[in-house]
Structure 1
Amino acid sequence: MAMRLDHQLREQIFHKHTTFPITYFQDELAELPQFTGPLHWHPDFELASAEFSILEYQVGQQRILLEPGDSIFINRNVLHGVKQLDGSQTEPMPNIVFSGSAIAPENSIIFQKYIKPIALCDQMPFVVFRHNDLNQDEVNNWLKDIYSRLRRQENCFEMAVQRNLSKIFEYLFRNFECLPKTEVPRIQITAQIRIQKMLSYIYDNYSNAITLEDIANAANISRSEAGRCFKTYMECSPVDALIQYRLQIAHELLGDKSLTLEKISCACGFHSVRYFNRQFKKKYGHTPHELRKLGK
């Protein structure tokens, strides 16, 4: 299932059962160009695991490497993205996105006492569970069982999943004081809000002619400050980010054989087909025509 982002970069998670708000994903990276998921956020918790490849998670400004067997917990409303760093085959990256109410109702003492403090902890945007840490091995095993139960969906699977999630949050709560914390200065929070606004503007207006000043104005900052924000979070300039997003959309549109390359180029904000072809080949190693013939 491809990521669906709204204008605030918030991933739109539509849980199949609202009374059991947890969704299981696998093979998402296979649908994304260069096995890379864009920066986004959602109001739910996320747990994900690396199975065969090395993954790089970006959480806020931090980058974390997950080796095969490692897992990561990402707190609610935290800007994050992921990409596969090695291997020619896509990493399955099983993961779940879930509301805390999947464990207990929000007005219950369990939610208020054990889940809410973690959800509101700005100093805990993520927690990594390493496969070679015996103290964390049980968490990885609980996660494996969750993935398996959600795949098979046998009788009483919801109860088993809920038990395992409760165990994970009990682990987080009991080890709360000794788990690594990240102090997020006010300037970093401000920068994150700005990058969200500017990326939202790009995602909404990529098909139009956009200048650096337009992008900066979306966050009411100067062009130089916009450049600093993008350099910090995305290691590129605002204009480069715009081009990369246009190319990502173009890559998706190639699957629609009814669209000519000229139409795709124009729809993605490239008003020169020659420039579009050159940028596309630079990013993907093939021209749009070549990639369409390859069926990729």
Structure 2
Amino acid sequence: MPIILDHQLREQIPHKTAEFPVSYYHDELAELPNWAGPYHWHPDFEIATAESGVLDYQVGQQHIVLEAGDSIFVNGNILHRVRQLSGDRPDPLPIILFSGVAIAPEHSTVYQNYIHPIARSDSLPFVVFRHENNSRCEINALLQETYRWLREQPRCYELAVQRNISLILEYLFCNLDHFPKSEATRIQIKSQIRLQKMLTYIYEHYAETITLKDIANAAHISRSEAGRCFTAYMGCSPVDALIQYRLQIACGLLNEKTNTLQEISYACGFHSANYFSRKFKEAYGYAPSQVGCLGK
């Protein structure tokens, strides 16, 4: 299932919170151009595992390389994205997104004493579970078991998943003081908020004519400051980020095979089909007409 974002960069998570607030995804990279996802965030916790390839999980400004067998926990409301660095096929990348209320109601003692401290820990944006680390093998084993239950959904699987997630959160809580800390400075926090505002503007207005000034104005900053913010987090200019997002949207439309190349180019903010085709091939190495034919 492709990643779908709302206008606030929150990933739209289709699980029904009142019923069972845990969602399972896999093979998402196969649906993404160049096996790279967009920068996004969501209020839920996220846990993912590299199964076959080498992945770059970017959390905030930090890049974490995951090798096959490694897993990562990403805290809620943290900007992140994933990109596959190696491998002949897209990594299956099993992912679970879950709310703390999967374990206990938000106003309960259990939630307030044990889950809230994790969710509100500014110094814990992520935790990595390396496959060669004996102390974290148990967590990786729990994750594999959880993925299997969510994939197969046998009788009472919700109880089994809830039990494993509870054990994982217990491990995180008991080791809060021992994990490497990543304290964000006020400047970093301000930059992330600015980036969120500018990306929100891009995601809402990508089909329109957008200038660098428009993007900067969304965060009430100068064009040069906007450039510094995008470079620090995304390694590109605001305009390049806009083009990347337009191309990602175009990939989805191309896969639907219901519109012409010219219609797609205009729908994505490109006012020339030739320019769109050129930028698409520069980014992905193949022509728009080949989408769906290359296993990407």
Contact 2:197 2:218 in 1 (8 A): yes
Partner of 1:82: 82
Contact 2:255 2:291 in 1 (8 A): no
1:292 Cα deviation after fit: 6.3
Partner of 2:114: 114
Unaligned runs of 5+ in 2: none
Q: Secondary structure at the match of 1:69?
A: coil
Contact 1:73 1:127 in 2 (8 A): yes
Q: Secondary structure at the match of 1:176?
A: coil
CA offset digits 1:168-222 (Å, max 9, x no partner): 1111111111111111001101100111111111111111111110110011000
Partner of 2:246: 246
Q: Does 1:259 align with 2:275?
A: no
Unaligned runs of 5+ in 1: none
Contact 2:59 2:79 in 1 (8 A): yes
> Structure 2 vs 1, CA of residues 17 and 216 (structure 1 numbering), >3 Å: closer, same or farther?
closer
Partner of 2:162: 162
The one-letter code of the counterpart of 2:71 is: S
Q: When the two structures are aligned, how many residues end up with a matched partner?
A: 296
Q: Secondary structure at the match of 2:163?
A: helix
Partner of 1:281: 281
Computed over aligned residues only, the root mean square deviation of the Cα atoms, in angstroms, reads: 1.4
The one-letter code of the counterpart of 1:14 is: P
1:53 Cα deviation after fit: 0.8
Contact 1:53 1:67 in 2 (8 A): yes
Q: How does 1:58-137 map to 2 (within 5 A)?
A: 58-137=58-137
The one-letter code of the counterpart of 1:240 is: D
Q: Larger deviation: 218-227 or 202-211?
A: 202-211
Identity over aligned residues, as a percent?
A: 61
Q: Larger deviation: 280-289 or 210-219?
A: 280-289
Q: Does 1:23 align with 2:14?
A: no
Partner of 1:226: 226
Contact 2:30 2:295 in 1 (8 A): no
Contact 1:74 1:126 in 2 (8 A): yes
Q: Secondary structure at the match of 1:38?
A: coil
Partner of 1:211: 211
The one-letter code of the counterpart of 2:60 is: G
Q: Secondary structure at the match of 2:255?
A: coil
Contact 1:23 1:98 in 2 (8 A): yes
